Amino acid sequence: MKPKKEQKTEKPKAAPEPDEQFEKPRGIIRENLEALLIALLLALFIRAFLVAPFKIPSGSMEDTLLIGDQIFVSKFSYGVRLPFSNKVLIPTGEPDHGDIIVFIFPLNRKLDYVKRVIGLPGDEVQVHQGIVYINKKRYEKQWGILKGPENPGMPQFRDFGPITVPENCLFAMGDNRDNSSDSRYWGFVPYENLRGRAFMIYYSKDKSIFDVRWNRIAKILH
Length of the chain: 222
- Given 60, 74, 180, 204, the catalytic residue: 60
Report the candidate in 106, 97, 116 with the shortest Cα–Cα distance to residue 198: 116
- Given 74, 75, 77, 115, the catalytic residue: 115
Calpha distance 172→115 (Å, rounded): 6
118: helix, strand or coil: strand
Q: Annotated catalytic, 137?
A: no
Adjacent-strand bridge partners of 114: 102
| CA atoms in the 13 A half-sphere facing the CB of 125 | 25
CB neighbour list of residue 138: distance below 8 Å, 6 or more residues apart: 131, 132
List phi, psi (to 5°) of 38: -65, -45
Query: Catalytic residue numbers?
Result: 60, 115
